[in-house]
């Protein structure tokens, strides 16, 4: 299917969160991640983020570092589980999360397809991207990062020889789960909280995801909207006239599908023209960078939302 609506380009802002240098050997980090008696340190943070992800309160990109998306996920999880809402991983929150006793890290064996890719370093300019037949992954670590909801830097920390790995190599990766199959009754996006929530008929939160929700130039269109269609692997029809910060030398162009497409791997088209819920090629910026008015999620979270909605599900965009 061809994506026929103009969508939101990413703002050219630098990411606020940087990956810190490794402070522990990979084996030590893996062991610390699985030590359920320890609730502090890098290993505990990694385990916390994996548990939140599996509980459907997404911390965004799993990186084993304290950040705003982790705090949002904790507040959402705590509110949904009748716990004191602190945004901190306190004793009661750990006790509730650790009812899930599955390992936080699991083994993954690389396949020949994983190694083959293909992987291509992409140009930054939209006009140059429009010349390509696909906008796929730039590296194995990026592809695995999307599959396991993790930052490429974290995967390299856990697996220092990742970039030289071959088919058959066994890696340590976050033990994330597949999207739930439960259908949502409505979607609610809170601009002030920078989150998207899926709710059931009774108003219970089924899932929560960090989101970029507009900017001063292109604010979130507050109101009640409906879903027109859900497009997987959309092409992107770039119209520079719709973007205040577009390069004045740019022309209209169609960008190929792929995870590094400006709207990622999913476009959920809303009844507000030119607006939608979509993925991104820059997952670490979700909830931190601004958008052109659309609701931007990580690709994996956008896929989870797409699996839970259809044209009967209302979308409420609120302050």
Q: Which token pair is 203?
A: 């108003």
| pLDDT, tens digit (0-9, with 9 covering 90-100), for 44-66 | 999 999 999 999 999 999 999 99
The CB-side HSE value for 164 (13 A sphere, CA atoms) comes to: 2
Q: Please check whether residue 177 lies inside any domain of the structure.
A: no
> Residue 217 is part of a domain; what is its CATH number?
2.40.440.10
pLDDT given at position 106: 97
In a domain, 230, yes or no: yes
Residues 47, 259: Cα–Cα separation, whole Å:
26
| pTM for this model (two decimals) | 0.89
> What's the Rg (C-alpha) of the chain?
19
Q: What is the mean pLDDT of residues 103-120?
A: 96
How many residues belong to the chain?
319
State residue 233 phi and psi, 5-degree precision.
Answer: 50, 60
In terms of Cα–Cα distance, which of 7, 1, 3, 2 is closest to 273? Answer: 7
Task: Specify whether the CB–CB gap between 170 and 109 falls below 8 A.
Answer: yes
Count up the domains in the chain and report the number: 1
Beta bridge partners, 109, equal 170
Flag whether 248 is in a domain.
Answer: yes
Structure token digits, residue 152: 């490429």
pLDDT band at 123 (very low <50, low <70, confident <90, very high): very high
Give the per-residue pLDDT at 291: 61
For the segment 211-216, the average pLDDT, to the nearest whole number, is 82
Return d(Cα 271, Cα 93) in angstroms, integer.
38
Residue whose tokens read 């320890």:
38
3-state helix, strand, coil in the chain (%, to 5): 25, 20, 55
Residue 309's pLDDT band, with cuts at 50, 70 and 90, is very high
Domain membership of residue 237 (yes or no) is: yes
Asked if 147 contacts 13 with a C-beta cutoff of 8 angstroms, the reply is: no
Residue with the larger pLDDT of the pair 111 and 16: 111
**Is residue 287, in this structure, part of any structural domain at all?**
yes
Mean pLDDT over 89-117 rounds to 97
Is 195 a member of any domain?
yes
Residue 173 within a domain: no
What phi and psi values does residue 195 have, to the nearest 5 degrees? -140, 155
CA distance 268 to 278: 6
If you average pLDDT over residues 127-138, what whole number do you get? 94
Q: Which of 177, 222, 182, 228 is nearest to 205 (CA)?
A: 182
Computed over every residue of the chain, the mean pLDDT equals 89
CA distance 129 to 119: 15
Q: What DSSP state is assigned to residue 248? A: T
More confident residue, 151 or 7: 151
Q: Which residue range(s) make up the domain with 271?
A: 186-318
pLDDT for residue 2 is more than 70: no
Please check whether residue 240 lies inside any domain of the structure. Answer: yes
Average pLDDT over residues 272-292: 87
List 253's β-bridge partners, or say none: 238
CA distance 223 to 86: 29
Q: Which two tokens stand for residue 119?
A: 């992987």
């Amino acid at each position: 299917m061809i994506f026929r609506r103009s969508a939101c380009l990413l703002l050219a802002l630098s990411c606020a969160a940087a990956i810190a240098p490794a402070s522990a050997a990979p084996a030590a980090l893996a062991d610390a991640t699985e030590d359920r008696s320890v609730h502090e340190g890098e290993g505990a943070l990694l385990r916390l983020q994996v548990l939140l992800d599996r509980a459907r309160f997404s911390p965004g990109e799993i990186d084993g570092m304290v950040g705003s998306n982790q705090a949002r996920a904790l507040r959402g999880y705590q509110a949904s589980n009748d716990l004191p809402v602190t945004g901190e991983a306190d004793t009661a929150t750990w006790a509730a999360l650790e009812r899930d006793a599955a390992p936080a890290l699991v083994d993954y064996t690389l396949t020949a397809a994983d190694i083959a890719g293909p992987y291509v370093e992409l140009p930054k300019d939209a006009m140059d991207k429009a010349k390509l037949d696909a906008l796929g992954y730039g590296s194995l670590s990026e592809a695995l990062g999307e599959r396991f909801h993790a930052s490429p830097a974290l995967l390299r920390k856990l697996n220092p020889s990742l970039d030289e790995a071959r088919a058959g190599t066994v890696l340590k990766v976050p033990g994330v789960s597949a999207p739930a199959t439960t259908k949502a009754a409505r979607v609610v996006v809170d601009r002030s909280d920078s989150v998207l929530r899926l709710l059931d008929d009774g108003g219970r939160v089924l899932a929560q995801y960090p989101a970029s929700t507009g900017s001063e130039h292109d604010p979130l269109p507050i109101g009640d909207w409906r879903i027109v269609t859900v497009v997987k692997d959309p092409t992107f029809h770039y119209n520079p006239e719709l973007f205040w910060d577009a390069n004045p030398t740019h022309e209209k162009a169609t960008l190929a599908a792929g995870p590094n497409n400006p709207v990622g791997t999913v476009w959920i088209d809303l009844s507000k023209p030119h607006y939608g819920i979509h993925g991104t090629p820059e997952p670490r910026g979700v909830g931190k960078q601004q958008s052109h008015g659309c609701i931007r999620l990580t690709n994996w979270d956008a896929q989870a939302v797409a699996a839970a909605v259809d044209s009967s599900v209302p979308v409420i965009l609120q302050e």
